[in-house]
């Protein structure tokens, strides 16, 4: 799929999600190119119908800046009780609505917002939908202090970790950590890998989002929208 077509699909999925946002609610807004379209649609609703929200929290400084450019006030997650709905993108999603996220290195904040949301909707183009989680390296955020030891441990497990780079420097996350991308595709037992990573000292968070998503809005190249719940 070429980038223009993919962008058109992302835009369509984003519009369907933006139309579901209820005025006066607490909204979580994720990160990425699909979410960028979602924020544009929210901005349009604000301009056309004066959409107001009780609170908005977001998962990256990029999304925050864009929301503020439309005049939305953005709060910190710690300042709100619970989020009614979070809309985010995903890198892969399987038939059980489990996903890989973190392509934009924002996985830690994304997971924190997601698990504190009553409902999570992901917006994707059809290229992201797979039977089993595969075709995208799994991002793992690690503390700099023990990153080499964690990398070695993951290598021994056959998970093929590589540091994500920004030029010739290790990419640094919002929290000052590094990302190891694991080359394991398909992921044979996602729950088993998630459990292992959850219990590995030095791992801050990983991009396996299991049993978190409630609904996926998929824009297809045949012009239809599929809502998987
Ligand atoms: C960022 C993410 C994004 O949601 C994911 O990478 C999808 O991005 P895009 O909409 O640009 O394809 O998890 O950490």
pLDDT digits (tens, 9 = 90+) for 72-86: 999 999 999 999 999
Please give the Cα distance from 208 to 194 (Å, whole number). Answer: 6
Please identify which of the residues 12, 110, 141, 205 carries the catalytic annotation: 110
CA of residue 192 to ligand 1 center, whole Å: 23
Label residue 192 exposed, middle or buried (CB < 10 Å: 0-12, 13-18, 19+). Answer: exposed
**In testing the pocket of ligand 1, which one of 12, 34, 135 has its CB within 8 Å of the most ligand atoms?**
34
14 lines ligand 1 (CB under 6 A): no
Secondary element (H or E) of residue 5: helix 3-20
120-131 pLDDT, tens digit per residue, is: 999 999 999 999
pLDDT of residue 2: 83
pLDDT of residue 3: 84
Residue scoring higher pLDDT (217 or 6): 217
State the average pLDDT over residues 158-176. Answer: 97
pLDDT of residue 202: 98
pLDDT of residue 4: 84
Tokens of 3: 């980038």
Beta-carbon-side half-sphere exposure of residue 175 (alpha carbons within 13 Å): 17
- Looking at the predicted complex, does its ipTM rise above 0.90? yes
pLDDT of residue 111: 98
Does residue 112 register a pLDDT over 80? Answer: yes
Q: Is 7 helix (H, G, I), strand (E, B) or coil?
A: helix
pLDDT of residue 160: 98
pLDDT of residue 5: 87
172-205 pLDDT, tens digit per residue, is: 999 999 999 999 999 999 999 999 999 999 999 9
Does residue 147 register a pLDDT over 80? Answer: yes
Q: How confident is the model at residue 209 (pLDDT cuts 50, 70, 90)?
A: very high
- Known active-site residue 110: yes
Does residue 1 register a pLDDT over 80? Answer: no
In angstroms, what is the C-alpha Rg of the chain?
17
Note whether 164 and 120 are within 8 A (CB).
no
Label residue 228 exposed, middle or buried (CB < 10 Å: 0-12, 13-18, 19+). Answer: middle
- Give whole-number Cα distances, 156 to 100, 124, 159, 192, in Å: 22, 34, 8, 16
Q: Is 137 helix (H, G, I), strand (E, B) or coil?
A: coil
90 lines ligand 1 (CB under 6 A): yes
């Amino acid at each position: 799929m070429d980038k223009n077509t993919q962008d058109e699909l992302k835009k369509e999925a984003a519009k369907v999600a933006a139309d579901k946002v209820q005025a006066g609610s607490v909204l979580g807004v994720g990160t990425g190119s699909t979410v960028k379209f979602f924020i544009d649609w929210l901005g349009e609703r604000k301009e056309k119908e004066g959409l107001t929200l009780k609170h908005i929290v977001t998962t990256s400084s990029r999304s925050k800046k864009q929301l503020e450019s439309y005049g939305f006030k953005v709060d910190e997650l710690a300042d709100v009780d619970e989020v009614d709905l979070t809309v985010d993108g995903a890198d892969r999603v399987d038939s059980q609505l489990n996903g890989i996220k973190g392509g934009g290195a924002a996985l830690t904040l994304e997971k924190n917002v997601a698990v504190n949301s009553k409902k999570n909707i992901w917006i994707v183009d059809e290229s992201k939908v797979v039977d089993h989680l595969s075709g995208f390296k799994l991002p793992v955020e690690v503390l700099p202090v023990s990153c080499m030891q964690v990398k070695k441990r993951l290598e021994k497990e056959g998970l093929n970790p590589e540091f994500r780079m920004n030029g010739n420097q290790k990419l640094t996350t919002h929290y000052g950590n590094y990302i190891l991308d694991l080359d394991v595709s398909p992921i044979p037992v996602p729950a088993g890998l998630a459990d292992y990573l959850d219990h590995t000292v030095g791992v801050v968070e990983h991009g396996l989002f299991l049993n978190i998503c409630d609904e996926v809005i998929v824009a297809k190249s045949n012009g239809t929208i599929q809502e998987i719940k």
